[in-house]
Amino acid sequence: MNTIIESIKKEYDNHILEVSTSQNETYLTVKKEIIVKMCDHIYHHLDIPLVCIFATDERKKEGFFKVHYVFSVDREDAFIILRIDIDGKNPGYPSITNKVAAANWYEREIQDLFGLIPVGHPDPRRLINFEDWPAGIHPLRKDFDIKTKPPRVEGEYVYRRVEGEGVYEIPVGPVHAGVIEPGHFRFSVAGEPIINLEIRHFYTHKGVEKLFENISLDKAVFLAERISGDNSVAHAVAFCQAMEKIAGMDIPPRAKHVRTILLELERIYNHIGDIAGIATDVAFSFGAAHANKLKEDVLQLNERITGSRLLRGMNTIGGVRRDIGSSKDEILLNLSIIHRDFRKLMELLFSTPSLMDRIETTGRIYNDIAKGLHVVGPVGRASGIDRDTRRDHPYAAYKEFNFKVPVSKAGDVHARTVVRGDEICESIALIEQALWSLPEGDISIKADDIPDGSALGYCESPRGETIYWIRTCGNKIERCKVRDPSFCNWLSIEYAVLDNIVPDFPIINKSLSLSYSGNDM
Amino acid sequence: MTVEDEIEIMGQRLNDKIRKIYGRSLHIREVDAGSCNACEVEVNSLSNPIYDIERFGLHIVASPRHADMLLVTGPVTRNMELALLKTYNATPAPKLVAAMGSCACNGGIFGDTYASMGGVDKIIPVDVYIPGCPPRPQAVIFGLMVAIGKLEQKISKTEVKS
């Protein structure tokens, strides 16, 4: 880590104003003029991925807004965070999107929520605030009260247009035909093949980040669980780990094992659900019914051992709230049955020509596109990006266990299905290891007072890398940035569908398994 | 009693009611008005082989124009308010609205903020509230049964008046 920091320092010595380190996070405050060059250098030259950009409103204390660029040094379990100061009276700062495509939505998000303008952004349209939101009002600024209800104003959202002979548009959503979340898709097609797709989201924006600043710490864990319902455990764990890092707590080993088990149970039911969805969307009902039954088996197991089908209410700052050690035999027995049935299911799916015909070469995301957009999780791994937070930044009890990270290069729906299938088998093995080596002792430690400070919390949810950055002050949350994996992955769908036919869109969408609520918050 | 037994008992009661009032089946359109997707997980569970609500005469349909009932989840975000209203207006009368989940009932943890309207009944009339975060599939089936009971009352009241 030091060598990387030294090399950056050597290159940009006169532009770095301050360097500070806390645990595995190194903060570099730099001049805003140099930010594009530095991000480009770190991202392309040092090959360190940009995992998050967020802003903070520190006008009260320091008189500035700050924008933070978080880079993840996977090889060394460390993070480099670049910071720039932005004066409220002159809210422009250089956009890095032209150099680092992954920054696109982050900069537009900051523009809407903080009113800081990314100068030179190739697509400066609004993202979260819809066209009926009045100009000049930015919800995450400290002087905006959460209860304010800004009036609706006249406005128009302009979609990209594709013109030409025989080209027509298909608008879909926000209320869809299936039981899925709201979002708008606008296809431009010529005959069957899709020649352009534009997605529009943030219909389910619920003001979660602002809400974190207005609720007590004990309630905040429950809010984190409700950012993306089917990733409840991952969000709660990432949140709790950030808080524990701030407090310098080391939670009991038993709690770490229980968290690992819960995270893997969540991965299993999500992945089986995705495989069921793919089978449904290619009209292979028999396979879908089989997979849905397996998913239900896991949900019922969840309920028996934790009281919640979606494993909610289990995590707390300082550990877990309920011991599952007494259900050890039940979990092992059920998982062995599920494992056997699941292997049969995969054999069935992959030997069904009508299914294979629909998923092979469909919805391809090439490695360079996936890398450029910073696609994470199983979708990224199916496109050859070998990253997994569990291995690269170990948390909970993952350091103690053996597991493989399945990677494929094909990048199509088939590859994503295979990666998910392999991950389920790894997850079952992980739970077995965690249960066999479950240490004795407490399941939580008291966490009454959280000192002032800031830290990153991270976790590999079923959808991929989930990141929290939290700053506390006086036992309250001053800023909580949440970055759900879907926020990174959504844009990849615009590339995945190109040259595919419209009826294949649902399959591609399902294979990417994206959360609307986690993205919109 | 296992989950399967519970479902069987409630499902049959529900089926009797649906047959009495709708002749054969009840068509439901699910609308996500800003939920965290946990409620969607449970609505999807309703049609898996364990619960299989289709056998009791409940169908989840693709369009509000085909629906007798709207099953609304989420606290209704500012950005979904208009879409929810349009969906409600597209549903033919007499229609039922069920608010599913704590957020739909009263805003839940998201409350009443700049981005959340704080409950479905702030936007459209609600016939029945199904609390829970998310409600178990059994609770959803029970809630639907209560909703149909309300329609029974609605119909008999209009009959008395006419």
In whole angstroms, give the CA distance from residue A310 to residue A273. Answer: 13
Of A139, A144, A228, the CB nearest to B37: A228
The pLDDT value given to residue B162 = 53
How many CB atoms are closer than 10 A to CB B4? 9
CB contacts of B49 in chain A (<8 Å) are: 289, 292-293, 296
Closest C-alpha among B42, B111, B118, B37 to residue A516? B37
| Per-residue 3-state assignment (H helix, E strand, C coil) for A207-265 | CHHHHHCCCCHHHHHHHHHCCCHHHHHHHHHHHHHHHHHHHCCCCCHHHHHHHHHHHHH
Q: What is the C-alpha to C-alpha distance for residues A370 and A383, in angstroms, rounded to an integer?
A: 7
The structure tokens 């088996």 sit at A297
Contacts of B43 in chain A (CB under 8 A): 179
- For the record, the structure tokens of A220 come out as 């905040």
Helix axes A232-247, A217-225, angle to 10 degrees: 150
Element (H, E) at A74: none
Residues 6+ apart with CB under 8 A from A108: A118, A121, A123, A124, A125, A126, A127
- Reply yes or no on whether the pLDDT at B23 is more than 80: no
| CA angle (A143 as vertex; A141, A146 as ends), nearest 5 | 80
Q: Which helix (H) or strand (E) holds A81?
A: strand A78-87
pLDDT of B160 reads 60
pLDDT at res. A275? 94
Domains of chain B: which residue ranges?
3-161
Cis bond before residue A253 (omega within 30° of 0): no
- 3-state secondary structure (DSSP) of residue A152: coil
CB contact under 8 A, A147 and B40: no
What one-character DSSP code corresponds to residue A309? Answer: T
Using 50, 70 and 90 to split pLDDT, how confident is the model at B158? low
Q: Map tokens 């549903």 to a residue.
A: B91
Amino acid at A490: W
To test the contact with chain B by mutation, choose from A127, A175, A180 the residue with the greatest count of B C-beta atoms within 10 A, namely: A175
The residue in chain B having the minimum alpha-carbon distance to the alpha carbon of residue A514 is B37
CA closest to B2 among chain A residues:
A300
Q: Output the CA–CA distances (angstroms, integers) from residue A350 to A66, A275, B114, in the order listed.
A: 50, 12, 48
Q: A513 CB contacts (<8 Å, ≥6 apart)?
A: A270, A274, A277, A378, A379, A462, A463
pLDDT of B161 reads 58
**CB contacts, 8 Å: A180 with chain B:** 32, 40
Instruction: Tell me: cis bond preceding B94? Omega within 30 of 0 counts.
Output: yes
Residue of chain A whose alpha carbon sits nearest to that of B67: A177
| CATH class assigned to B3-161 | alpha beta
**Mean pLDDT for chain A overall:** 91
Instruction: State pLDDT tens for residues A394-404.
Output: 988 899 999 99
Cβ-based neighbours of B81, under 8 Å, separated by 6 or more: B33, B117, B123
Round to whole Å and give the CA distance between A304 and A322. Answer: 12
Could you tell me which of A324, A330, A273 has the C-alpha nearest to residue A296? A273
At residue A12, the pLDDT reads 82
Instruction: Report the half-sphere exposure of A213 (CA within 13 A, side-chain side).
Output: 22
What pLDDT shows up at residue A176? 85
Residue A145, burial from CB neighbour count under 10 angstroms (0-12, 13-18, 19+)? exposed
pLDDT tens digit sequence for B67-122: 989 999 999 999 999 999 999 999 988 888 999 999 999 999 998 999 999 899 99
Residues B134, B111: Cα–Cα separation, whole Å: 16
**Domains annotated on chain A, with CATH:** 2-119 (3.30.460.80), 167-200 (no CATH), 208-488 (1.10.645.10)
Determine what percent of chain B is predicted with pLDDT higher than 70. 94
Pairing verdict, β A476-483 and B26-32 = unpaired
Contact call for A207 and B116, based on CB within 8 A: yes
What is the rounded distance in angstroms from the CA atom of residue B31 to the CA atom of residue A451?
42
Q: How distant is the Cα of B106 from the closest Cα of chain A, in angstroms?
A: 14
**Distance from the A129 Cα atom to the nearest Cα atom in chain B, whole angstroms:** 8
Q: A229: which chain B residues are within 8 Å (Cβ-Cβ)?
A: 35-41, 134
Alpha-carbon distance A300 to A309, whole Å?
A: 6
- B114 to chain A, closest Cα gap in Å: 5
Are B79 and A204 inside 8 Å of each other by CB? yes
A220: closest chain B residue by CA: B109
- Would you say A517 and A229 are in contact if contact means Cβ atoms under 8 Å apart? yes
DSSP A6: H
Please tell me which residue of chain B has the smallest CA distance to A273.
Answer: B41
Which residue of A150, A181, A202 is in closest CB contact with B37? A181
ipTM, 2 dp: 0.90
Beta strand pairing call for A194-200 and A25-30 = unpaired
- Residue in chain B lying closest to A223 (CA): B109
Residues of A in contact with B32 (CB under 8 A): 175, 179-182, 204
| Distance in angstroms (rounded) separating the CA atoms of residues A429 and B43 | 30
pTM for the model stands at: 0.93
Longest dimension (CA), chain B: 46
The stretches in chain A having pLDDT less than 70 are none
Contact check, Cβ <8 Å, A204/B80: yes
A229-256 burial code (b ≥16 CB/10 A, e <16): bbbbbbbbbbbbbbbbbbbebebbbbbb
Q: In chain B, which residues have their Cβ closer than 8 Å to the Cβ of A296?
A: 45, 48-51
Residue B86: closest CA among B117, B64, B101: B64
Alpha helix segments (H runs only) across chain B: 3-22, 38-46, 81-90, 102-106, 137-161
Q: In the prediction, which pLDDT does A211 show?
A: 93
Size of interface A-B (CB pairs under 8 A): 136
- Count other Cβ atoms within 10 Å, centred on residue A341: 16
Please check the confidence at residue B18 and state whether its pLDDT lies above 90. Answer: no
Do the chains contact at B79 and A181, CB–CB below 8 Å? Answer: no
Angle between helices B137-161 and B3-22 (to 10 degrees): 20
Interstrand relation of A464-473 and A476-483 (parallel, antiparallel or unpaired): antiparallel
CA dihedral A491, A120, A130, B79 (to 10 degrees): 30
The amino acid present at A339, given as its one-letter code, is H
Asked if the model's pLDDT at residue B154 lies above 80, the reply is: no
Coil vs helix vs strand at A510: helix
- DSSP H or E stretch at residue B80: none
